[in-house]
Structure 1
């Protein structure tokens, strides 16, 4: 079957080993191998099911060697596997959708088994190269912080921002799937461009919302204001609103945590369309800067904050 031919190519060979066999050959306890397998997001398999390949064996052997060499510990290896599984699953799903769209646009490709398998064989190495390129580039960017202390690496002062599309829930009820995809793609594309241009980082997209960080108050302010301005000139994109907070942020496996993250989310929830609300700490940092106008607003009550004191951020011009 064509699915089996493609699977053998993607997995690097046929399914040869049981769970017990692959763990024994890799020198890893079965319980540990099972934990890593589940952390990657893969389903439970029977002990006697031959589902593992030479590639699975090589990956498990490397994971075991990293732990034995003291480069990582079991808990960190499990957390890393969980992060990889979550991100790679999303990436694989998007690429599968792309492949399915290509097949639908080219019926002749899907009709010929050899042509389709050959197409996949040509496409996958290119995708691997691009993914490896992006990973190395991001790793190089983060490598600049290798000299930071352990405390600074775990938690540092950053601007955290949320931006969401106003009225998106009602928009989904009156729009077709094609219209929803178009709007989300525009939002994702605009956000990625603006965040990159202002030296920020997207932490994650959450439906109609984006979570981002910037390293200093000025960069965070420029990012938020630029995003609102660009969105206001984008055809077919609902108005945005942004909440920003400044303080110590805990970063772990690509995600961020802490009260500053919660505060930014609450500010976004009470911001008006086309506005940027900021917390008091960020307001104090930006008030001396002549490029911005910071206007205090009435205290508001939101979940977790009885008297939140936001400020409205605008350009001075």
Structure 2
């Protein structure tokens, strides 16, 4: 991502944020400009050759035939996509070393690009999305909102799509390109093998029509949330503070000055430690209380 205020793409929205009617008109009025090279802004990034051709072919060889029961409808939050030309599956990372290499590369890439810690430990599987040629264009949308909660986790702040197929020789408006409104400009990102596209989840986008004579579109789609990995420790710390306060109250009520003084000292030390830990988290994660954490869910992409 280019240098800039990326916090817009890293906030957890307080309410559903969807593409507005004005956004839709802009995208309809401006033919999207196809981007075949790298692209970087504070809300949209395109990285070429994130995967080599050999790595892509290896991953494709691990996918079962589309007729296999491993493929099924795509579930986006609590929305079930029954579109028969869109199928999804989860590819276990343990299947092949190329998948574990991809996961490690994701961590390195985004830590360098976003200058913040990234956790990929939840990626035991990689969501793969298969679009069959002949599918119509989607409406303009974002990847956030109440319907896109992830098993009780916070909504996504970042969407990532790694293309496993190529449509460079097909006009962008027939290739199943992903179209964006970024900085008031309509931009189209056609599928290019091995390319990584990533964008802020609140960025309005749509997926263009995939013509019947175009190649099927296959991609790994991932999302990241801002997750506080210290939540359990914080909960335990709060329980300890509550118990200490109760002991202090009892000592005071019993008139035990020595015990009360001892409890006050322990309580003060515990509060200081908890406050120091909170400050370290905030310093380490910028203005976010938590780590950017990738999860294996199908949303958008």
TM range (shorter): under 0.3
Greater per-residue strand proportion: 2
- TM-score norm. by structure 1 comes to 0.19
Greater per-residue helix proportion: 1
With CA pairs under 8 Å and 6+ residues apart, which has the higher RCO, 1 or 2? 2
- TM-score norm. by structure 2 comes to 0.20
